[in-house]
Structure 1
């Protein structure tokens, strides 16, 4: 069930958080695929400091997301449940030799429960402008000291992590699958959309997400997961035309742009891809893995003229495909009729979902925003009502919403 709470910030804190999230959004690092360079950093931290756990993480409005993690399960945690929020809020390194003796952590379930965390060292990941977008952590299940030299080494490693983040901005191709990176895809898409608008030809967008991908990694390991990603990308390339764009937007999420294709044509392409993905298991140095994917579609229109809106609409349709049972294709316009088609812009803002006569508040991250709708991300959507108030306090914005599509962590809402 959803955990509701209240959370107040001063005007200055809201302004600082708004600017911090804008800096994080500029990096475009959240939910990007695994990267071996970051995996090396966490392995190095464990080796240098002889600790059980090492994490490279980034923090948006509602969660801490792990870009790389060794020694701990999961890939994200609610912001209010993480030690690292104190580093992000203060902007300074935090060293805790014994968590049982620190009032901030002594009652935390990670300390009192099965994980038995006893030592924490968190170093801020800072942009050149000084915004703290994440943390680099060394964590242990034993109490221990951490010298000034140790802290200096961890700080150097944090700066190296940010150097790597900057280098990623220039990468156009995903090293694993050969698809375009998210940044590279959007750059090429902008040019393709400009041509479509100038010459008045059709263009469609498909977003696909591999079903139950986390279970593949958990059951068969990351090598098998990589094989599945490669197989899906290869099947897409085989089925697509030379002029179509294929990009890897996230861990198991891909996007396709189809020039000179209308919505009906895009549905035919999506069904062809869906059948190809599900047609045969992925083989390798593991048991055969049966794979399916869920597809969402959107198309260029009089009011939809940019890649962010196309992706937001295709995402919403894809989430509905997941919700309806997976392994299917859904068009954006079929969700609630074609009247909800306002343009969206990509944002990264701190939001609050308010319900139960304003007695319950759940943190969310606003990922896309338009005049009539928005895309939200939460830690867990289970238990949230179908109608609620959405507040973006940094913008002084509050409106009534109804859910038009969702999965376990993503909500697409229309404003009332």
Structure 2
């Protein structure tokens, strides 16, 4: 309402040549519609006071729905509903900028890879592989806070940004998720598919020139976890 009144008053005062504002209105049924309001003062008195205004009100709810769908398609992985790679990198970039403004914060980046996923596709088929990926995404969401940012950055590779989190808390979360995945096989067509995950994590620091520096460390930690037997969590610090 404040946004709408600001635009309207700006036009009535002569600061804007015309009035145009997108806003919501509540319907009689209690729902909401998006409205495009347009208007133009067509007569003023000798002192410039508006006397008559004409305009239109248009329901743009469908357009807004389509815009939201397009935004989600641009930022969301279609299979899991998690952030896609580009959107995840944008969120890490934002968090890095926040760290550089205020060094009192900490954040951790995790990379996660489902172990022997190719064997799942080869043995059970790609539809089963998709079921495993969706299953893992659900488990990951259940372990995370609302403020955390989970993403899918590759076929069976996932990522998580943990804002305002230190290494100890991140390790605890990663171990809890690793154990939960190992204890929860996926049920597909009356078959149980065992799943495990390897996890690498690192602190996002002010010294990182870009998100890729932290992601590279997390990736090295992930491959260390795989080299040491998989189904484990490894940490790589900025000095390693």
Structure-1 separation of matches of 2:169 and 2:118: 31
CA contact (8 A) 2:85 2:152 kept: yes
Structure-1 separation of matches of 2:119 and 2:200: 22
Which residue does 1:277 correspond to in 2? 181
Query: 1:260-282 CA distances to partner (integer Å, 9 max, x unpaired)?
Result: 10112111111111111111110
Which residue does 1:190 correspond to in 2? 93
Q: Gapped runs of 5+ residues in structure 1?
A: 1-166, 341-416
Q: 1:325 aligns with which of 191, 216, 229?
A: 229
Which residue does 2:7 correspond to in 1? none
CA contact (8 A) 1:196 1:259 kept: no
CA contact (8 A) 1:208 1:294 kept: yes
TM-score using structure 2 length: 0.67
Structure-2 separation of matches of 1:321 and 1:298: 13
| 1:217 partnered with 2:117 | no
Structure-2 separation of matches of 1:320 and 1:329: 9
For residues 244 and 299 of structure 1, do their structure 2 counterparts lie closer, same or farther at Cα, with a shift above 3 Å needed? same
Which residue does 2:82 correspond to in 1? 179
For residues 259 and 281 of structure 1, do their structure 2 counterparts lie closer, same or farther at Cα, with a shift above 3 Å needed? same
Instruction: Report how many residues are paired.
Output: 170
Q: Gapped runs of 5+ residues in structure 2?
A: 1-69
Deviation of residue 197 (structure 1)? Answer: 2.5
Structure-2 separation of matches of 1:276 and 1:233: 12
Deviation of residue 302 (structure 1)? Answer: 4.3
Deviation of residue 286 (structure 1)? Answer: 4.9
SS at match of 1:224: helix
Q: Determine which structure has greater relative contact order: mean sequence separation of CA pairs < 8 Å that are 6+ residues apart, divided by chain length.
A: 2
CA RMSD across the alignment = 2.0
Q: 1:241 aligns with which of 129, 136, 145?
A: 145
Deviation of residue 210 (structure 1)? Answer: 0.1
Which residue does 2:163 correspond to in 1? 259
Structure with the bigger percentage of helix? 2
SS at match of 2:160: strand
Which residue does 2:106 correspond to in 1? 202
Which residue does 2:37 correspond to in 1? none
Deviation of residue 301 (structure 1)? Answer: 2.6
Query: 1:325-378 CA distances to partner (integer Å, 9 max, x unpaired)?
Result: 000000013xxxx534xxxxxxxxxxxxxxxxxxxxxxxxxxxxxxxxxxxxxx
Structure-2 separation of matches of 1:285 and 1:257: 34
For residues 305 and 261 of structure 1, do their structure 2 counterparts lie closer, same or farther at Cα, with a shift above 3 Å needed? farther
